[in-house]
């Protein structure tokens, strides 16, 4: 069963159990997936990796919206965004722990022989395939920057 099929099956189950949060979130996620499939010159079938990228992007939107609503004093909307983000997180791979990310970056720096802040792109190119979907780009970049500055 592909990830998209799992989302569709879970949406059907959520609708039957009248789980409004899960229904709303999965509908939004499937819409984003379908929009991605028809984006560009030709429609295509997304792989599970592509679906994970779409879900990660949607989860990031939820985190950012929750922060914005929280800063504006709109706690009810912030809570709704956090709840939707939690539903999406269930379909994403487990996030890397800080120690794992630190080790991956250190290995990439050693493998590329990078030194100094100018080598950041080189290290990022080596690290990104290894962390794909398991850590946000900003978090990875911050760790690379920190280790290259040492």
DSSP output for 42-89 = S--PPPHHHHHHHHHHHHHHHHHHHHHHHHTT-HHHHHHHHHHHHHHH
pLDDT tens digit sequence for 74-93: 999 999 999 999 999 898 88
pLDDT band at 71 (very low <50, low <70, confident <90, very high): very high
Whether residue 143 contacts residue 105, with contact meaning beta carbons closer than 8 Å, is answered with yes
Q: In 3D, which of 61, 13, 58, 2 has the Cα closest to residue 31? A: 58
Average pLDDT score over residue span 60-81: 92
User: Please, what CATH class does the domain formed by 98-149 belong to?
Assistant: mainly alpha
Q: What is the 8-class DSSP label of residue 135?
A: S
Global pTM value: 0.76
Q: Name the most confidently modeled range: 29-33, 89-93, 144-148.
A: 29-33
CATH number for the domain whose boundaries are 3-90: 1.10.1510.10
Residues forming CATH 1.10.1510.10 domain(s) in the chain: 3-90
Phi then psi for 22, rounded to 5 degrees? -65, -40
pLDDT at 66: 93
């Amino acid at each position: 069963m592909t990830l998209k099929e799992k989302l569709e099956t879970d949406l059907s189950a959520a609708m039957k159990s009248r789980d409004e949060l899960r229904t709303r979130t999965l509908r939004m996620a499937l819409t984003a997936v379908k929009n991605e499939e028809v984006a560009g010159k030709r429609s295509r079938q997304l792989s599970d990796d592509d679906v994970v990228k779409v879900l990660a992007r949607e989860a990031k939107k939820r985190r950012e919206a929750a922060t914005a609503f929280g800063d504006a004093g709109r706690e009810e909307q912030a809570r709704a965004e956090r709840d939707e983000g939690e539903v999406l997180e269930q379909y994403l791979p487990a996030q890397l722990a800080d120690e794992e990310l630190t080790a991956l970056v250190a290995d990439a720096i050693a493998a590329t022989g990078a030194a100094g802040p100018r080598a950041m792109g080189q290290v990022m190119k080596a690290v990104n395939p290894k962390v794909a979907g398991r850590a946000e780009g900003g978090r990875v970049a911050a760790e690379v920057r920190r280790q290259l500055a040492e």
